Structure 1
């Protein structure tokens, strides 16, 4: 079955009504990362500021026929310096987003979360996959499968709130969060079920806001209405979740990769909780996924601008 990416296309179409997002692209020194920035710029999604070794960036552009004539290049000698300089562009209000180029995720994130001169906020930083799963009506948000290895309950509060805020930025009509475990009953022997129950009570007490949240839920009764009915789970989330909160990084990584490699899903990726959205893509991602990640960052930044105007 041909995968048409119509869900990502809808996001990109919305995004094209917005001004291009000024984006610091850290170390775009291979074909994949530079081509992503150029294509996203051609589509009007981002306005790239290329940060890295000037000559290397120009060599890559020449080798692969990529036109970077209109983009500023901010010279930085190596990948660590490029990550740091990209963060500085945000502080200087020259960029409203960061994009990972051909350097390790750890290098980008180290610059972002530095206590001194980084982009920390009161929130914990977390990652969301935005999955386009063939045969599933809307995109699915999965968090956190890339940054927080074994999140505590306090970490999960921020992970859930970041994912809810993303759902609103993506213009979900209703954000429905399933806190996943291996079962849908609270079992003291399975810590993730206790944390799921605690998160739901925190929603009742308005410590987490903006969504319907339920858990613990097993994956089947989170996304399949029939499975939820069979288990007699009475919940506005069960069977229709559009945000899946996983117990830990390993579970999330396996869930996202099984959707990608067994179900043919595409995974766009973004980091939230910092002062600006961070576009994290993998070399294995399709160009469509990488463009979708840029569109998602633009929608997040647009939502933040709206909120800042309301508060201002």
Structure 2
């Protein structure tokens, strides 16, 4: 609750101050609110043109706006009206800088006017901005419940940006792209090649691929192309190229998932391992400190307990490959207690115990957990759940394909998440993107496949996940 001080309650020499740390979100919100899209002030931009991502500098007027937060919230507080403000800016502010914002009353004038000295300083005391303000102080007491201010969602997908940047440090992944004969799948593969993520071999009907390239304004002249008219035969060729050592990944183009997977999972000549294959959605959800992995939402329709063991282990390995240390795995059910009438709650409890006994390794597994107490700390506390996973889950194991598919699409279309997909458990990673996915989703899937391939070959991720970011 914010309470003001009236003109009569204020004396010369009264002062107030706050501290504020500049965040990336501050820069994004200010860009939208002010309309100032100067790349100098935006994250993830190369504003000086040297080919490197440059560190953004906070707009000077964002710094100046911090003065109004002290005036409007503390001294004089709610009801204050600005008359004039002068500024002298001494230096720039970067993301992560802690600022002290201070005002001091220097004069009381007629008609309720106050003069105030204003300053913004870095933690070491050096000045960022100094000036003078004239305000009209409130004449009556006002109290305002600041909790009534609506929250803001910043639709920023920093996790995929980071993963794509990390993947670019590796050599391109030789990839068989099966039936890329529509604009979206072909553009996604060529974009990933241009970004240095994959070295594609296009397998499919040459005439359809060339037609798609022409429609999209793309060239495949420098890309290896294996001309196979039949989509099923193209999928078989991709699997054969894996066995021949020509490629280390498979990417789905414009063909049905079943037509591709049939060749991957066949007993003779396929890409099966001892573990059941499963699909992992990697979700970049605005506001989450880490990516969220969901499995299985695309392959195993109604998995039994043994299949869920493989699904869980596959998802943990996918999380490890992205740099998440000891990932926290929440096994979902409708409730957070074991109920024999709800089979998924029994499976969740067994999976949790199996992880404790070392039958599932690499992560912390807990369940059953309902969705709310798996991802929200307050919900877990309200339910009285004491767990390293509850409220902090980075991997969500769903009861069946239907629930997983609905969860992933709800996050995409309601929470504005970006999604990328990967099939784990085969001899090589399989990028199983939807025919409706855009080029960005395909690019992210390629990055995740490359990071996973590196983890499988070396036993360690390219980089550990940075948990010190300023949020999204």
Gaps in structure 1 of 5+ consecutive residues: none
How many Å apart are 1:141 and its aligned residue?
0.2
2:370 corresponds, among 218, 224, 240, to 218
1:136 corresponds, among 288, 292, 295, to 288
After superposition, residues 79-228 of structure 1 pair within 5 angstroms as 79-228=231-380
Higher helix share: 1
Query: Does the CA-based 8 Å contact 1:26-1:51 persist in structure 2?
Result: yes
- The root-mean-square deviation of aligned C-alpha atoms, in Å, is 1.2
Query: Does the CA-based 8 Å contact 1:266-1:286 persist in structure 2?
Result: no
How many Å apart are 1:55 and its aligned residue?
2.3
Corresponding residue for residue 79 of structure 2: none
How many Å apart are 1:3 and its aligned residue?
2.9
Higher RCO (CA-CA < 8 Å; seq separation 6+): 1
2:453 corresponds, among 301, 305, 311, to 301
Count of aligned positions = 308
Render the CA deviation track for 1:26-60: whole Å, top value 9, x for unaligned: 00000001000000000000000000112221222
Query: Does the CA-based 8 Å contact 2:184-2:437 persist in structure 1?
Result: no
How many Å apart are 1:75 and its aligned residue?
1.5
- SS of 2:451 mapped into structure 1: helix
How many Å apart are 1:285 and its aligned residue?
2.3
Give the whole-Å Cα distance in 2 for the aligned partners of 1:46 and 1:4.
25
**Is residue 62 from structure 1 mapped to residue 214 from structure 2 by the alignment?**
yes
Render the CA deviation track for 1:99-154: whole Å, top value 9, x for unaligned: 00000011111111011111000000100100111222221000001100000000
- SS of 2:359 mapped into structure 1: coil
Query: Does the CA-based 8 Å contact 1:267-1:285 persist in structure 2?
Result: no
Corresponding residue for residue 166 of structure 2: 14
Corresponding residue for residue 406 of structure 2: 254
Q: What TM-score do the two structures reach when normalised by structure 2?
A: 0.64
Higher strand share: 2
Query: Does the CA-based 8 Å contact 2:185-2:439 persist in structure 1?
Result: no
Corresponding residue for residue 78 of structure 1: 230
How many Å apart are 1:2 and its aligned residue?
6.0
Query: Does the CA-based 8 Å contact 2:177-2:252 persist in structure 1?
Result: yes
Render the CA deviation track for 1:69-120: whole Å, top value 9, x for unaligned: 2211112121111111111110111110000000001111111101111100
Q: Higher mean Cα deviation, 216-225 or 68-77?
A: 68-77
Q: Higher mean Cα deviation, 295-304 or 67-76?
A: 67-76
Query: Does the CA-based 8 Å contact 1:266-1:285 persist in structure 2?
Result: no
2:187 corresponds, among 29, 35, 55, to 35
Query: Does the CA-based 8 Å contact 1:125-1:271 persist in structure 2?
Result: yes
* Higher Cα Rg, which structure: 2
How many Å apart are 1:205 and its aligned residue?
1.4
Gaps in structure 2 of 5+ consecutive residues: 1-152, 461-472
Query: Does the CA-based 8 Å contact 1:27-1:103 persist in structure 2?
Result: yes
Give the whole-Å Cα distance in 2 for the aligned partners of 1:177 and 1:2.
26
Give the whole-Å Cα distance in 2 for the aligned partners of 1:255 and 1:27.
29
- SS of 2:181 mapped into structure 1: coil
Query: Does the CA-based 8 Å contact 1:25-1:50 persist in structure 2?
Result: yes
